[in-house]
Amino acid sequence: MIRLVYTVLATIFGFALVAQPTSLEMDQIVNQWLLNNDNPAVVGCVVMDNEVIWMDAYGKANIAADYNATVDTPFMLASVSKTVTGTALLQVIENDEDVNLSDPVNDHLPFSVTHPSFPNTPITIEQLLTHSSGIDDNWDVMPYCNGDCTTPLSEFMASYFTPGEPDYNADYNFQTWEPGTGYSYSNIGATLVGYLVESITGTSFNDYCEENIFEPLCMNNTHWFLSEFADIEAIATPYDTWSGVSPINHFGYPDYPDGQLRSTIRDMANWLLATVNEGDFNGESILGNTAMNEALSVQYNDDQGYIWYTQLIDGDVVWSHNGGDQGVSSDIFISLENNIGVAFISNGDDYLQGLLQPTYQWAKTQSTQGIGWPECITSVNEKAQAENLKIYPNPTTEFLSIELPASQGKFTIELRSLEGRVLVQEVVVNQAIRQMDLTDFDNGSYMLHVSGDGVDSWQVVIKL
């Protein structure tokens, strides 16, 4: 699975600049990861200070339809969604003086959430945000739906926590320990975070996020439900990559605030920029500096903030969250020390952890260019049909076949080093397929440029 290059490599090849900043070094990092894994596509970005310093897309969003992934292709985020859910509740707390982190959740709910073994110990808002509430995930009553689920969030939450309701189970819906005395990652706890937003504000959770987070951050292609997208076919298809590569229908679940958000990497770059800049984004503020700093500070154990948690990458402590679900994977992290944010999303099951360190190492060698905040893109063409040019096998050990878009015509074919030096140049006339012998070339990545008769295509070629 090799990246199809859609952008023009301006700094090396001297053509017009494009909207998103690219990097040949990052191309090598991501292409190598794709070679070692089966995920059809990966999109990624790196932000620094108030700039996007790298953003690109690789592979197929939909194999059967031959749609390439682009920076404007929506992907499911899985548990990375929780960073938005947590921020939404922190925003509500910041704006409502009657709501505090230390409040029992029952102060703000139309039903009671009580640990059956510790009925006198209140479960607090802060415990939900630090996964210390004692609420457990009972997967027997957490269904997947084909498409969006129709069960309202309020109905699902009440059924899960109310004795006698269909989804309540005193043994499986709660941990054995007292709230506030242990730690267990809880999807349902994060779902309750989202429902608290809904209960306190009187606005559905998805609408609240649209108005108070996505619109201010110009995340115009980010939504909780499939029904909110203009074209569902443009959303990256999930693929089961544990055993082959098999498509999975788009799905949802009633506990949607814990993982159902879909977003583009362009929008996620804005999310990272707001987080790196303490809640500020190009004159907008989604969260005060104090609240954002608290979210990205240790609040429980040695590594848990409010939803975000720490990990070590390249020797540095960063704030992070990953996600994984059926046919989707995601990873984001923030370095407060270097004002760097990194995000990757994919439509396969293989974990993205292997991309994080080399990307962060590259990012720490870069600097901003004085471009400033990204432009607000209000409409995008989400589906990108593959160019009518095929090269195979890629990677190759010997010969590379280049299938030209027409058997009649004149084309110039160049193989270049990543530094831009022309290694091979030939002109072909009235040929449908041209073979190039790479047997004597060193192993590594090269750029193939094909031009002529309306074609101007750059593609990465890997020699093994």
- pLDDT-derived band at 382, boundaries 50, 70, 90: low
**Contact at 8 Å (CB) between 401 and 391?**
yes
Domain borders along the chain are 37-386, 389-463
Domain 389-463 has CATH 3.40.190.10: no
- Name the CATH superfamily for 37-386: DD-peptidase/beta-lactamase superfamily (3.40.710.10)
At 247-286, the pLDDT tens digits run 999 999 999 999 999 999 999 999 999 999 999 999 999 9
| pLDDT score at 16 | 30
The stretch 15-22 carries a mean pLDDT of: 50
Asked if 328 contacts 340 with a C-beta cutoff of 8 angstroms, the reply is no
CA distances from 265 to 56, 103, 161, 257 (A): 8, 35, 36, 19
Q: Tell me the pLDDT tens digit for each residue of 111-145.
A: 999 999 999 999 999 999 999 999 999 999 999 99
* Mean pLDDT over each residue of the chain, to the nearest integer: 91
* Greater model confidence, 344 or 435: 344
In a 10 Å sphere around its CB, with 0-12 CB exposed, 13-18 middle and 19+ buried, how is residue 225 labelled? Answer: middle
What pTM does this model have?
0.83
pLDDT tens column, 91-105: 999 999 999 999 999
CB 403 within 8 A of CB 431: no
Describe the crossing of helices 353-363 and 24-36 by its angle, rounded to 10 degrees: 170
pLDDT at 1 over 70: no
Q: Count H helices, E strands: the chain?
A: 10, 24
Confidence at residue 379, expressed as pLDDT on a 0 to 100 scale: 59
The answer to whether 298 and 305 have CB atoms below 8 angstroms apart is yes
pLDDT at 4: 34
Share of the chain above pLDDT 70, in %: 92
User: Which of 203-217, 301-315, 423-437 bottoms out in mean pLDDT, i.e. has the lowest?
Assistant: 423-437
Q: Which residue in 173, 190, 199 sits closest to 87, CA to CA?
A: 190
pLDDT band at 3 (very low <50, low <70, confident <90, very high): very low
For residue range 385-433, list pLDDT tens digits in order: 555 567 878 888 889 888 877 666 888 899 988 767 889 999 988 888 8
CA distance 17 to 19: 7
Average pLDDT over residues 225-243: 96
Assess whether pLDDT exceeds 60 at residue 294. Answer: yes
Q: Is the pLDDT of residue 13 over 60?
A: no
Give the residue-averaged pLDDT of 203-221: 98
> For 159-163, 264-268, 360-364, 387-391, which range has the lowest pLDDT when averaged over its residues?
387-391
Looking at residue 318, what DSSP letter applies?
E
Q: Which of 208-222, 337-351, 439-453 has the lowest mean pLDDT?
A: 439-453
CA 219 to CA 239: how far, in whole Å?
25
* Residue 132, pLDDT score: 98
The pLDDT of residue 6 is 33
pLDDT tens sequence across 20-42: 687 889 988 998 899 899 999 99
Distance CA 46, CA 333 (A): 10
